Amino acid sequence: MDLDYTPTDDAFRAEVRSWLEANVPQDARAKVLNHKRLSRDDIANWHKLLGTKGWSAPAWPAEWGGPGWTETQRHIWDAECGRIGAPPVLPFGVSMVAPVIMKYGNEAQKRRYLPRILSGEDWWCQGYSEPGSGSDLASLRTRAVREGDHYVVNGQKTWTTLGQHADMMFCLVRTDPAAKKQEGISFLLIDMKTPGITVRPIITLDEDHEVNEVFFEDVKVPVENLVGEENRGWTYAKYLLGHERTGIARVGASNRELAFLKHVALNQKKNGKPLLHDPVFASRVAAVEIELMALEVTAERVIASSNNGRGPGPEASMLKIKGTEIQQALTELMVDAVGPLAAPFDPAFLEGEHAHSAAGDDDAAPLAAYYFNYRKTSIYGGSNEIQKNIIAQMILGI
Ligand SMILES: Cc1cc2nc3c(=O)[nH]c(=O)nc-3n(C[C@H](O)[C@H](O)[C@H](O)COP(=O)(O)OP(=O)(O)OC[C@H]3O[C@@H](n4cnc5c(N)ncnc54)[C@H](O)[C@@H]3O)c2cc1C
């Protein structure tokens, strides 16, 4: 089934496009367009601004403050944000823990956390992965023992994205070590200021501080922060992972990056002519562009079939694989296009402290860091190999 945009959708696109053009903060937008690093405030301020407009949680039901958009309108919103280079709204609160709280949380949890997620008051992080428990998540060992009106948590999480800024973590813990591994897990909401929590940076290949290790030493978590029932956390965790993969195709952002790649390749010369006109390079660019067009159509077909409320299902795995392959291919072509100009590492420029790169080429200077950073996309959100297993089992029936 194809997605037909109605006149109402076209009017919606025009409305959000003009609002974005007037409201995306120019300095944060310039960082996104130039592959520089966003600060905590860039991300938090954008979320808060969207919160006041009522657009921070496009998929939420109106009951909890969502804008009541259709799937198609949400797709248009994503595409327009990608097109203009808006900062991201982090998924951890809005798209991950919030759907779990809405479905499985109690009334007090809903009333406390959902409005704060909507407005951007709380910054959430995801405490799932542990050393040795990534793809095999159900083997996790962080232990929570109930003592009276609280749990005592001990253990370690890893790869916690932007956990250094977080107010809250949603965390999978083992509450029954004797049960089958999926049956002894619980889902806790943990205040990151609780004594006994240590957040330690992991510095990645691009010398960025985006991920962390988080250690728990006798951390007391009130029992009222348990979501749903004790030992039923695996059900909630899987429900959340279904939400994690939606929106991961990032077609709008990749279209913007394709335009940037062409811009860079036009400015580079090969044998006196623009690199973009070199037949070999042009054919590599065309191959990615064709893949991206195919992804866009596929994403629209998935949306058309989920407009009936069925949800994206295992097709989300296809979008995740293709979307991330294209994102990585674009970064590879950018680095290939500028060659040695990508080599200098200029952190002050990347962090937005200097307007121009000391290395001399502002377009090229951030590209090596960008390339290295994007190796992550085929690993996080469930690695691409795991997505292939899901497709094999759920779609192909193998
Ligand atoms: C940048 C980044 C940010 C992240 N942010 C977070 C976060 O905020 N919170 C969080 O909880 N986690 C986060 N993660 C962790 C992420 O979810 C895991 O890295 C991912 O699930 C893979 O787990 P692993 O690293 O332990 O690798 P492993 O599971 O050890 O996998 C190693 C390799 O083996 C392959 N493999 C494993 N099992 C199979 C199988 N059954 N069939 C085929 N191939 C297989 C994998 O695809 C991979 O190539 C992040 C990771 C990265 C890189």
Tell me if 275 is assigned to some domain.
Answer: yes
Co-location of 192 and 329 in the same domain: no
| Domain-located, residue 199 | yes
Ligand 1 centroid to Cα of residue 21, in Å, is 37
At 92, phi and psi to the nearest 5? -60, -40
**For residue 129, which atom of ligand 1 is closest to its CA?**
11
What one-letter code names the amino acid at 245? R
Last residue of a domain, one of 89, 111, 144: 89
Residues 224 and 278 in one domain: no
> What pLDDT is recorded for position 311?
57
Tell me, yes or no, whether 143 and 195 share the same domain. Answer: yes
CA of 16 to the centre of ligand 1 (A): 35
Are 360 and 288 contained in the same domain? yes
User: Looking at residue 12, what is its pLDDT?
Assistant: 97
List the residue whose alpha carbon is closest to atom 29 of ligand 1. Answer: 135
> Would you state the structure tokens that stand for residue 18, as one six-digit string?
């003009």
Structural domain contains residue 106: no
Domain identity same for 131 and 83? no
pLDDT at 246: 59
For atom 1 of ligand 1, which residue has the closest CA?
Answer: 376
Are residues 253 and 224 part of one domain?
no
**Which domain-ending residue is among 38, 64, 89?**
89
Pocket test for ligand 1, best of 379, 389, 393 (most atoms within 8 A of CB): 379
Distance CA 394, CA 391 (A): 5
The atom of ligand 1 lying closest to the CA of 137 is: 21
Atom of ligand 1 nearest to the CA of 162: 8
Ligand 1 centre to CA of 386 (Å) is 9
* Among 374, 391, 386, residue whose Cα is nearest residue 298: 391
Please list, residue by residue across 120-143, b when 16 or more beta carbons sit within 10 angstroms of its beta carbon and e when fewer do.
Answer: bebbbbbbbbbeebbeebbebebe
Q: Please report whether residue 243 resides in a domain.
A: no
- β-bridge mates for residue 203, sequence order: 209
Is the same domain home to 256 and 363?
A: yes
| Angstrom distance (rounded) from CA 367 to CA 332 | 9
- Residue 191 belongs to domain spanning: 124-231
Domain count of the fold of the chain: 3
Cα 238 to ligand 1 centre (Å): 15
What CATH code is carried by the domain that includes residue 287? 1.20.140.10
Residue type (1 letter), 273: K
Query: Which residue in this structure is represented by tokens 């959902």?
Result: 114
Residues contacting 102, CB < 8 A, separation 6+: 60, 61, 64, 110, 114
CA 17, CA 54: separation in Å to the nearest integer? 16
* Closest residue to atom 13 of ligand 1, CA basis: 159
Instruction: Tell me the CA–centroid distance for residue 199 and ligand 1, in Å.
Output: 20
Residue 137 lies inside a defined structural domain of this protein: yes
Pairwise CA distance, residues 355 & 30, whole Å: 11
259, burial (CB in 10 Å: exposed 0-12, middle 13-18, buried 19+): exposed
Sign of torsion, CA 224 230 236 238? positive
226 and 266 share a domain?
Answer: no
* Phi, psi of 306, deg, nearest 5: -95, 0
Rounded CA separation 186/169 (Å) = 13
User: In angstroms, what is the span from residue 382 Cα to ligand 1's centroid?
Assistant: 6
Ligand 1 atom having least distance to the Cα of 382 = 21
- Minimum-distance ligand 1 atom for the alpha carbon of 385: 47
Domain match, 215 and 141 both: yes
Phi and psi torsions of 268, nearest 5°: -90, 145
Nearest-CA residue for atom 14 of ligand 1: 159
Cβ proximity of 166 and 148 under 8 Å: no
Same domain? 196 vs 319: no
Domain termination residue (choose one: 68, 89, 110): 89
Query: Per the domain annotation, does 273 fall within a domain?
Result: yes
Report how far residue 100's alpha carbon sits from residue 287's, in angstroms, rounded to the nearest whole number.
39
pLDDT at position 358 is 84
Separation of CA 133 and ligand 1 centre (Å): 8
Which residues of the chain are modeled with pLDDT < 50? none
Decide if 1 is inside a domain: no
Q: Could you tell me which of 155, 111, 90, 103 has the C-alpha nearest to residue 129?
A: 155
User: Which of helix, strand or coil describes residue 207?
Assistant: coil
**Which amino acid makes up residue 367?**
L
234 CA distance to ligand 1 middle (Å)? 17
214 and 191 Cβ atoms separated by less than 8 Å:
no
How many angstroms separate the alpha carbon of residue 215 from the centre of ligand 1?
A: 19
Q: Which residue has the tokens 């905590």?
A: 40
Instruction: Based on the fold, state whether residues 263 and 197 are members of the same structural domain.
Output: no
Ligand 1, pocket residues at CB < 6 Å: 125-126, 128-129, 134-135, 159-161, 211, 376, 379-380, 382-383, 385-386, 389
| Alpha carbons 202 and 56: distance in angstroms, whole number | 29
Residue 221 is assigned to a structural domain of this protein: yes
The CA 375 to ligand 1 mean position distance, Å, reads 12
Same domain for 60 and 164?
Answer: no
